Structure 1
Amino acid sequence: MAHPDFAALSRRLLGQVDPLAERLARRVREAEAELAVVPPEDLTAVCALHLRGIYTHLAGEGPMELEPVRANARRRALQGVPLAALLHSYRVGTLFIWESFVAAADERVQAVLLESVSELWLGLEDYSEAVRSTYHEVEAERELRARRDRDLLFDALLGADHARIRESADALGLPRQGRFHVLAAESAAAPRLPVPAVWRELPGERLAVLWLDAPRAEALRAAGPRFPADLLADPPPGRFGISPPYTQISQTASALRLARLALASVPPGADGVSRYGDRPVATLAASSPETAGDLARRVLGAVLDLPAEDRGTLLGTAHAWFAAGGSTARAAGALFCHRNTVRYRLARMESLTGRRFDDPREAAELFTALETLRVLP
């Protein structure tokens, strides 16, 4: 509780709020150029409201009211006043209030001012925290609205209304013609891209429309044969799919379908970047998972019925053999086993499936079934 003399002085200053508010508004405006966007009468009214609340509280006639502070912080945030400038204005105001006490106090009251100064600075701390928290709330709301607006514009790119597609592209800063790619990524993946991109986050995936102007496209193409996968030369962990290039922004919906297929061709749980067409068999399986899964089970049915450890050994050996280009020796090296072990396991696969690895057509069926198991969850 404030000293009785300090409370009495606060009540006296409460009767002088209007002229004090005008002086405080001028001082704040002179001290903080960022507040130039605030109309003078608005700033004076806010100063009067705050001074009235503070003097009332220090006079012991009411609680510290923070709602006017929050309301002011919200309005200033919407007006574009930087947070640092707003906090500075409150420090200027607190110093002004202290000076008003010093100027109005006689010798007897001045002796108790230092005893009561903590009340004033504690109030500044409460005001500053209210300003910060409200300002951040407004920023979060503004970002949420902006993100929703961007999402609606992105979704319009995927529609069939060409007029809306053009309008959305203009609003998103994308040209209507150029060189574009769509990137599809697992939701946890957040790659850095060397080209402009417009992002859309959906449950379980993140999408981006990438735009390459002529100089960027040429520079990346010259950098290596993996273009456009080189757009993610140093990707974070996760799965990524990249569409083929397209030249009309109205083709984004079709490109998105191909990017999603490229993403689906990377086995679940693996890390990798796949351009559409990099993994044709896996992409075919991903494009028709129900049919592909059924055919894979028909080809490998007897193998899939084995106990888990035995099944995993045979499937892993077959994968290694195909990855080694059909070389038993290289497959054995990758599996750290003898070549005869690889031959034995492949023979078991042939016996269980009725298909031989040395027959090109039957080997293709086995490879397709194995790839299907890899990419389908």
Structure 2
Amino acid sequence: MSDTGTSIAQSLAASVLLRVPALADVLVRTIYEQNPGYRLPTSVPAEDLWQSCHDNITRVVQLVADRAPGPEQPAGDAYFDAAHATGQRRAGQRMPLDDVLRSFRIGGRIVWEALIDQARGQGVDDMDALLDVASKVWEIIDTISSEVAVAYHHAERRLLRADEQRRAALWEGVLNGTAKDPAFAHEAARIIGVPVDGRYAVVTVDVRAEDHGSVALLQRRLTAARIDSAWQVRAHTLVGLLALGDSALDTALAVLDEAVDAPAGLSGVVVGLSDADVAYRQATLARRTVPTGRNEVASLKERLPEALLVSSPELAAQLVQVWLAPLFKVPAAERHVLLATLETWVAAAGSVRRTAELAHCHRNTVLNRLHRIHQITGHDLTGAAFHVDLALALRAARLFMPPEHD
């Protein structure tokens, strides 16, 4: 800009600075007319908007009177304090950035019109100088808009981290029983995006870092089955909160069986978000009933005996020791045959005939194997009183025996 242009710009800006409060009034009215987002009841408070318009108009006009910011001679940060403050506040108010920047463009036009009005009043007719002033105004608006966007994005990232921390804290509260407090339950439901009341189940799924993208697939498939869900990663476990609505638990299990390729546990049904902690404990317990090396969804209602065993591993180990320990000392080939026969015999309620049918062998073969088991373990298998103990011991063996004993 020439010396003449600079002198004219400074003179016009000095006069316009005296009119800033009136210009702020005009800008506020124009924003309400041309930027509908600001008319929403939850939008920027009127006093905040007016003060922001006042402060930013002041800075723009001051920059017109001074040297415009640029790569060779950037203006001091003091020139951008209003822009930074506006960007930060609008991010916190969840005002879309496009609406914020549109208001700055409106403000730039109003400042330019005010400078032109002042030029007419002062009789300035140097068109080259006025074009230089116009160019300077829009360079300033572009620079300030960039500063607003930078401040907005910084604040948005901070707010996102705070939102994530708050959401994680609410999840922890739900899973730890804090949702028994109605006020907490309502806030958690609002933030997590689930109903306070209704039928719930919880699923826990083992995940690796690369598996986190599977959440979207799970949500889509459950939604297709009319089941809403929300998900949270805790360490290496993906926790799903399933709002069943009128859907059956078996429907959720069928979806999970098809979509999950990892060890997982599904709780029973509880009523209300207040009992989600109970469902979470059940799902965790059900997950523990999945044998090592197996990828399957264990439903608690189908694994109640196993759940009892994993709840008391010492007693489970004692059952195995009392009933089955000697069998693990025989060669693997014979051991597998004897254990399979024993499991079939228990499933057949001690019927030799039914065991033979299920095992596809002669009843005498079954009797010989049962006699061999009696020889090895010392237990007489002809009575019925021990069936519960033996059945639990066999389940415990499947749960707790290392792979080499399978």
1:287 correspondence with 2:311? yes
Q: TM-score, normalization: structure 2?
A: 0.61
Tell me the SS of whatever aligns to 1:183: strand
**Per-residue deviation at 1:265?**
1.6
What does residue 264 of structure 1 align with?
A: 288
1:44 correspondence with 2:44? no
- 2:88 counterpart (74, 77, 92): 74
What does residue 196 of structure 2 align with?
A: 174
Tell me how far apart the structure 2 counterparts of residues 9 and 303 of structure 1 sit (CA, whole Å): 103
Q: Flag the 1:294–1:93 CA change in 2: closer, same or farther, 3 A.
A: farther
* Aligned partners of 1:9 and 1:101 also within 8 Å: no
* Aligned partners of 1:296 and 1:373 also within 8 Å: no
Q: Flag the 1:41–1:243 CA change in 2: closer, same or farther, 3 A.
A: closer
What does residue 338 of structure 1 align with?
A: none
Tell me how far apart the structure 2 counterparts of residues 97 and 139 of structure 1 sit (CA, whole Å): 34
* Aligned partners of 1:77 and 1:139 also within 8 Å: no
What does residue 212 of structure 1 align with?
A: 244
**Per-residue deviation at 1:275?**
0.6
**Per-residue deviation at 1:174?**
1.9
Q: Flag the 1:35–1:13 CA change in 2: closer, same or farther, 3 A.
A: farther
- 1:195 counterpart (206, 227, 239): 227
> What are the Cα deviations for residues 165-212 of structure 1, in whole angstroms up to 9, with x where unaligned?
x5544553322xx53323333365633134244656544434444343
1:273 correspondence with 2:303? no
* Aligned partners of 1:24 and 1:96 also within 8 Å: yes
* 1:1-377 equivalence runs, <5 A: 4-5=3-4, 7-15=6-14, 16-17=16-17, 18=20, 19-36=22-39, 37-58=43-64, 59-60=66-67, 62-64=75-77, 65-100=79-114, 104=119, 106-113=126-133, 116=136, 118=139, 120-142=141-163, 144-145=165-166, 147-149=168-170, 151-152=172-173, 155-157=176-178, 164=181, 166-171=182-187, 172=189, 173-175=195-197, 178-186=198-206, 188=212, 190=215, 191-192=218-219, 193=222, 194-197=226-229, 202-213=234-245, 216-217=246-247, 220=248, 226-230=250-254, 232=256, 234-247=258-271, 251-267=275-291, 270-279=294-303, 282-290=306-314, 292=316, 365=393, 368-373=396-401
* Aligned partners of 1:263 and 1:274 also within 8 Å: yes
**Per-residue deviation at 1:262?**
0.8
Identify the range of structure 1 (288-297 vs 61-70) with the bigger mean alpha-carbon deviation: 288-297
Tell me the SS of whatever aligns to 2:302: coil
Tell me the SS of whatever aligns to 1:182: strand
- Equivalent pairs, count: 331
Instruction: Give the counterpart letter for 1:71 in structure 2.
Output: A
> What are the Cα deviations for residues 50-71 of structure 1, in whole angstroms up to 9, with x where unaligned?
1222333341294254442232
What does residue 72 of structure 2 align with?
A: none
Q: Which runs of 5+ in 1 are unaligned?
A: 332-346
Instruction: Give the counterpart letter for 2:31 in structure 1.
Output: V
CA RMSD of aligned residues (A): 4.8
Q: Which runs of 5+ in 2 are unaligned?
A: 69-74, 190-194, 346-354, 360-368
Q: Flag the 1:202–1:294 CA change in 2: closer, same or farther, 3 A.
A: farther
Identity %: 20
Tell me the SS of whatever aligns to 2:268: coil
Tell me how far apart the structure 2 counterparts of residues 168 and 269 of structure 1 sit (CA, whole Å): 39
Tell me how far apart the structure 1 counterparts of residues 97 and 30 of structure 2 sit (CA, whole Å): 18
Larger radius of gyration: 2
Tell me how far apart the structure 1 counterparts of residues 127 and 334 of structure 2 sit (CA, whole Å): 97
Tell me the SS of whatever aligns to 1:181: strand
